[in-house]
Amino acid sequence: MTYTSSVFVIVLMIALALFVYVLVPRVQYLLLGRPEPRVDQVVRRTAGFLVLVFGQKKVLKERVGLIHFFIFWGFIVIAFGTLQVVGEGLREGFSLPVIGDNRAFYLLKDILSVLVITGVIVAAHIRYVVRPTRLKANLEAGIILGLIFALVVTEFFYSGLSYALAPRASHSLAFVAVGVSHLVGGSGASALDAVGHTLWWLHVVLLLSFLVYIPNSKHFHLIACPFNEWLRNLKPRGGQIYPVDFDAEDAESFGVGRVEAFTRKQLLDLYSCAECGRCQDNCPAYQSGKRLSSKLLITKLRDHLVEEGPRLLRERRAAASKSAKASGEQAGPLDGHENDTRSGPADGGAALSSEQARPALIGDVISLQEIWACTTCYSCQEQCPVQNEHINKIIDMRRHLVLMEGELPREAQLVFRNMEVNGNPLGESALVRGDYLRMLQVPTIAEEPEADVLYWPGCAGSLDARNQKVSAAFVNLARAAGVSVAVLGNEEKCCGEAARRLGNEYLYQSLAAENIGVLAGHNVRKIVTQCPHCFNTLKNEYPQLGAEFEVIHHTQFLHELASRGRLRLDAGVLGTAQAGRHERAVYHDSCYLGRYNGVYDQPRELLKLAGLELMELPRTRSKAFCCGAGGGRIWLEESEGERINNVRTDEILRAAPDVVAVACPYCLTMLKDGVDDRGAGDRVRVMDIAEILQGALSLSSQAGDSKLPERGNTTSSGCAAEEKLVRSPA
């Protein structure tokens, strides 16, 4: 069959022109952002691109991801088949190299096409019948699914009619095309040719309509996503918050208060979002009834960019034109001053009017409740199949509020003041920070510079009464293993992690610089931390400021000692297990130990060595539910929705454990608070892994153990510190 190629060429050119007409402005909006070069490690980027895009690695983490996998690959193969169809319509006997006469290709195309149709039907059923909250049952999604379905069906019938008119060996294995040819085999050649002509045009028009529609819909992610995958952040997860250069001479503001202040990669994220809702389904803020939805965060920013894009482009062009005009004039000082005076009020008034009419990024587009609700747990980014980066956007907006507007929660103001004055968020005197560990006869690094490791208990392990017990347990375990431990004592200050995530980058860098200076002064090379937040900050973020030392978490360190046989444990001697029954334990994965740093196995193996019967929670490992304390949230009130720690506690209590094992002082505090709030404190214990191992130490290993100071003998940080670390009622 030969059709009028000139008409098709005209239609094709119109479609391509419309596609470019819509695409170009969106690219221009993208370029409004700040440059962020990400063209390093080309081999690693390309390898990851192949796995993530063509292998659909993150998509397949969900069962329904298989549907997307088949639609994705089916569409690719169908696209080659469509090129063959278009070529046949333009020139009789047209054949694509390799594909044109390849029987295996047409068999594969029919198989994948059937899978695509099946996938579209299942996707429509999920979206419009099952209607999960993460998916919006809107017209746009229906149009896309309808176009995909129609493209496959029209190609099926066109191929079948073509095969009926002129059977070809290349199509002999294409079972759908052959089946259609049998259905229409009794029709006359002229009728088949006419219907085939119509189907060819219908298929082509549908294809070009799909092409034009993509940039105008959420399916623009089909174009943006591959670039986003290649430009993904290759830094360690825990070190992806970029530092602010406060010494930059051209810096006019810090943080992000306007959409164009985001980086180009951050704006590309907005186009790449597929609105699948996986981030929202795994967001502790959203799942506990907060206003924040990680999916809506992205889509609202995208809509704001598209809405404001034309205005921003006009303003930028006007500014460039004015700058060019000014540089071309050779006015004297007096003339220049007079010109500025005459034009100033008018220009300023116009600018003011424009600003007043422009919706504010913070407040109008993204509310303060959304910005402050994030726990920075990384679950949204862990689940996102297109490598979107939500957390930096929120921290950037927090930075603008704190550093530029001075607008922040009242509780955060107190925390920042405590950090500035006392070097800790609890408000305890810096002079008592090392008292508790001194009572355990732990030397400072100044007193014992040759100690095997420097122990970093952090603010909680030094000053909070409940977490001081964890510090004591770790010291006992280290001594039982023959490891010498030293601390910084009063020289240690808060690592600044909470300040950074609450937007006070200046305070964070000040604290970090002081700590790095102290560590360098003592020539420290190996640090063991109790807190995953300190662990992540020292390991992944301090190197941004020039620090160089090895940092490991206490569960990693204890696992290493146990693996070498230096920790001898008597399984099942925690003291409360019934005869003949091991205690049942669940392990709660800390976000900053697990998702951020990939430490999942060592804590679990330690619990098994301690003789506990380990059970897994429904949401565990990379999908573990946050305790609610991260992102500085432990210091803020939680007055909206359900408490995140209570949501997690309810999930834990349904498993009916004897022990809730944790490896983070924040998690210990939040879950103990949740267990007590649910009235289960008398039957369920919340314990750090170090405490559990201490209880399982063989008697022969305990001879040199340090005795825990009596509660009444703790420092002044005792009960008061514990009360401050436990979140106050909303």
Helix (H) or strand (E) holding 661: strand 659-662
What is the Cα gyration radius of the chain? Answer: 31
Task: Lowest mean pLDDT of 27-36, 156-165, 260-269, 469-478, name the range.
Answer: 156-165
pLDDT in tens, 9-33: 888 899 999 999 999 999 999 999 9
In degrees and rounded to multiples of 5, residue 556 shows phi and psi of -65, -45
Question: Which of residues 669 and 206 earns the better pLDDT score?
Answer: 669
Question: Which of residues 137 and 538 earns the better pLDDT score?
Answer: 538
In degrees and rounded to multiples of 5, residue 613 shows phi and psi of -85, 105
Rounded (5°) CA angle 335-339-345: 155
- The Cα–Cα gap between 680 and 373 comes to 27
SS3 552: strand
SS3 532: helix
- The Cα–Cα gap between 129 and 126 comes to 6
- Predicted confidence at residue 722, as pLDDT, reads 36
Tokens of 380: 């949204």
Structural contact between residues 241 and 266, judged by C-beta atoms closer than 8 angstroms: no
Q: How far is CA 520 from CA 75, 193, 370, 514, 524, in A?
A: 57, 82, 39, 10, 6
pTM: 0.88
pLDDT in tens, 442-466: 999 999 999 999 999 999 999 999 9
In degrees and rounded to multiples of 5, residue 527 shows phi and psi of -125, 135
392 Ramachandran zone, left/alpha/beta (phi>0; psi -120 to 50): alpha
Structural contact between residues 670 and 634, judged by C-beta atoms closer than 8 angstroms: yes
Residue type, 687: M
Q: Residue 577 pLDDT > 60, yes or no?
A: no
- Which among 656, 659, 660, 658 has a CA at the least distance from the CA of 624? 660
- Predicted confidence at residue 139, as pLDDT, reads 84
Q: Residue 702 pLDDT > 60, yes or no?
A: no
Helix (H) or strand (E) holding 613: strand 613-615
Question: Which of residues 138 and 291 earns the better pLDDT score?
Answer: 291
Mean pLDDT of 591-601: 98
654: exposed, middle or buried (Cβ count in 10 Å: 0-12, 13-18, 19+): exposed
Question: Which of residues 90 and 105 earns the better pLDDT score?
Answer: 105
Q: How far is CA 12 from CA 15, 206, 621, in A?
A: 5, 12, 50
Could you tell me which residues come within 8 angstroms of residue 345 by beta carbon, excluding any fewer than 6 positions away? none
Structural contact between residues 657 and 684, judged by C-beta atoms closer than 8 angstroms: yes
Other CB atoms within 10 Å distance of the CB of residue 314: 11
SS3 697: strand
Residues in a beta bridge with 552: 528
Q: How far is CA 77 from CA 106, 111, 169, 694, in A?
A: 9, 10, 19, 60
In degrees and rounded to multiples of 5, residue 13 shows phi and psi of -65, -40
- Predicted confidence at residue 727, as pLDDT, reads 40
Tokens of 513: 């610089």
Q: Residue 354 pLDDT > 60, yes or no?
A: no
- Predicted confidence at residue 701, as pLDDT, reads 57
Q: Residue 729 pLDDT > 70, yes or no?
A: no
- Which among 587, 519, 177 has a CA at the least distance from the CA of 511? 519
Residues in a beta bridge with 526: 550
In degrees and rounded to multiples of 5, residue 25 shows phi and psi of -60, -35
- The Cα–Cα gap between 164 and 1 comes to 12
540: exposed, middle or buried (Cβ count in 10 Å: 0-12, 13-18, 19+): buried
Task: Lowest mean pLDDT of 89-98, 304-313, 552-561, 584-593, name the range.
Answer: 89-98
User: From the centroid of its chain, how far is CA 343?
Assistant: 47
Mean pLDDT of 485-489: 98
Quote the percentage of the chain above a pLDDT of 90: 63
In degrees and rounded to multiples of 5, residue 593 shows phi and psi of -90, -40
Structural contact between residues 478 and 472, judged by C-beta atoms closer than 8 angstroms: no
- Which among 689, 684, 681 has a CA at the least distance from the CA of 656? 684
Mean pLDDT of 563-586: 72
Tokens of 353: 């009017």
pLDDT in tens, 625-637: 999 999 999 999 9
Side by side, which strands form the sheet with 550-553? 485-486, 453-456, 526-529, 550-553
> What DSSP string describes 248-290?
-TT----S-SSGGGSBHHHHHHHHH-----HHHHT-HHHHTT-
206: exposed, middle or buried (Cβ count in 10 Å: 0-12, 13-18, 19+): buried
Residue count of the chain, please give it: 730
Q: How far is CA 182 from CA 110, 112, 165, 176, in A?
A: 16, 21, 11, 10
668: exposed, middle or buried (Cβ count in 10 Å: 0-12, 13-18, 19+): buried
Helix (H) or strand (E) holding 398: helix 391-399
Mean pLDDT of 79-105: 75
Mean pLDDT of 704-716: 42
Q: Residue 714 pLDDT > 70, yes or no?
A: no
Task: Lowest mean pLDDT of 173-177, 262-266, 713-717, name the range.
Answer: 713-717
pLDDT band at 333; cut points 50, 70, 90: very low
- Predicted confidence at residue 347, as pLDDT, reads 44
